[in-house]
Amino acid sequence: MKYKIQSILFVLVAFMLGCNEYMIVGVLKDIHSDMGTPLATLGILVTLFALVYSFCTPFISLLSARFKRHNVLFGLLVIFLIANTWTAIAPNFFQLLLSRIFAGATAGSIISITVVMASFIAPPEKKAGLISWVFAGFSIANVAGVPIGNTIAQVFSWRDSFWMVTILTVIIFALLFVYAPRDTPQSHAGTPEEAAKIANDRKKYIIHPITVTNALFIICVTGAQYSFYTYITEIITKYLHFTDSVLSILLFILGFVSILGNKLGGYYADRGNMQDIPFLYLIMPVALVLIGLLINLTSPNNFPLAFGIIAFILIAVVCIVNVSYGANVTVLFLDLANAEFPGALDLSSTFNPVFSNLGIAVGSFVSSIAIGTGWFNIGNIVFISAIFGFCSLALVLRLKRLTKENI
């Protein structure tokens, strides 16, 4: 029973973090209306959050490795709670940006600790499935959190969307204080020799071909999604010509299919990790190219409804594929560390959130630059996403070969 409660709580942690991270995408237009900051500038909120998330996560995880994981988790949750509440009350863009920096600095370490805890409490045959459910929490945030946040923003204020996350954080913190595992194994450097062994493991792990290729794959996959998903509300309403009244429903659908993608990834992870998944990443770039063609084939004043429906279905397909990597790459990082570099286990748990957010930062930054300079508009930014997608395909094919040879 305790295992089930802990598993649900770990999924809720990811859901909470996902609401905080992704909800900003659904309320950018409302922040623009409230503060008057241009949409292209507001895209920096996504980019900077992801960059801070990427760079702070490994450092915080390494610095806190000497402390009990549950104590570190509780401390980080308090900081996250303060940061999210600051977002809700931020009076201007500068303070909003600072609040997102603090939230990003803690979120990655929170989820990496959660993943490590999940990997230890789960039976071996259920490890990949539980980890896929933890990452499904982010998709559930898209299913429920982002549409609910968008609806709250429309009915009340975008600020109330973040107050919702604050309340959720308090509840989850109280439950974790009771149920978080206190006894997960940790790497301790009790002697100089042990410290040298851990340092050597980490160094070899970081430069291992599987680690490097896996990291680049994650960056390209998330770059492919967030180069266009940062502006998804604008794409749906302005370029696919759906009304604001159905926006929350369409966002709900995209979140729901993302859950399917997470479970699909868990299925492939249990079947042999990277061996069967590459064909999905052939679908993604082709779908992105087709979306761009559908949007740009006709004039905005004569855009067929059928084109909008087909383009939205293709976006849903991209969302399924985009999130299916989560369990695969996480299990791959953890398995490589457990098998060959045990001193790098805590570090390895940070790599998926680190590089996925680096990819988000790269994708959102490239698209904001392309739009800001006038080289692209939001309607054809998916062609940039397709380039990231084809790079993902090449890297996942290399991963398939590397894992077959080494693991």
CATH number of the structural domain spanning residue 328: 1.20.1250.20
Task: Considering only residues 293 and 147, tell me which one the structure prediction assigns the higher pLDDT.
Answer: 293
Residue 8 has pLDDT above 70, yes or no: yes
Q: Which of 48-62, 211-225, 333-347 has the highest mean pLDDT?
A: 211-225
Of 404, 392, 142, 124, whose CA–CA distance to 281 is shortest?
392
Q: What residues contact 298, with CB distance under 8 A and at least 6 apart? A: 304, 307
Task: Considering only residues 355 and 373, tell me which one the structure prediction assigns the higher pLDDT.
Answer: 355
Q: What is the pLDDT of residue 78?
A: 93
Residues 308-323 have a mean pLDDT of 87
Q: What is the pLDDT of residue 275?
A: 62
Percent pLDDT > 70 in the chain is 82
d(CA 200, CA 202): 5
Residue showing tokens 């709580």: 9
Please tell me whether residue 374 adopts helix, strand or coil conformation. Answer: coil
Q: What is the pLDDT of residue 378?
A: 79
- Range 39-70 burial, b when 16+ CB lie within 10 A, else e: bbebbbbbbbbbbbbbbbbbebbeebbeeebb
Q: What is the pLDDT of residue 193?
A: 65
Q: What is the pLDDT of residue 272?
A: 57
Q: What is the pLDDT of residue 205?
A: 79
Task: Considering only residues 249 and 348, tell me which one the structure prediction assigns the higher pLDDT.
Answer: 249
Q: What is the pLDDT of residue 169?
A: 92
Q: What is the pLDDT of residue 77?
A: 92
Q: Which of 319-323, 357-361, 389-393 has the highest mean pLDDT?
A: 389-393
The mean predicted confidence, pLDDT, of the chain is: 79
d(CA 290, CA 295): 9
Q: What is the pLDDT of residue 328?
A: 75
Count of the separate structural domains present in the chain? 1
Q: Which of 113-122, 298-307, 334-343, 357-366 has the highest mean pLDDT?
A: 357-366
Distances (CA, A) of 187 to 270, 330, 337: 27, 19, 12
Residue 385 has pLDDT above 80, yes or no: yes
pLDDT digits (tens, 9 = 90+) for 118-140: 777 766 666 666 766 776 777 67
Q: What is the pLDDT of residue 192?
A: 66
Q: What is the pLDDT of residue 297?
A: 78
d(CA 105, CA 142): 21
Token representation of residue 93 = 């863009």
d(CA 221, CA 388): 7
Q: What residues contact 19, with CB distance under 8 A and at least 6 apart? A: 141, 145, 146, 149, 164, 165, 168
Residue 80 has pLDDT above 90, yes or no: yes
Task: Considering only residues 69 and 1, tell me which one the structure prediction assigns the higher pLDDT.
Answer: 69
Token representation of residue 270 = 């249990």
Q: What is the pLDDT of residue 345?
A: 67
Residues 270-285 have a mean pLDDT of 72
Distances (CA, A) of 322 to 278, 316, 360, 388: 12, 10, 12, 11
Q: Which of 10-14, 19-23, 134-138, 218-222 has the highest mean pLDDT?
A: 218-222
d(CA 163, CA 100): 14
Q: Which domain holds residue 304?
A: 2-406
Residues 262-276 have a mean pLDDT of 65
- Range 358-375 burial, b when 16+ CB lie within 10 A, else e: bbbbbbbbbbbebbeeee
What secondary structure letter does DSSP report for 407? -
Q: What is the pLDDT of residue 79?
A: 92
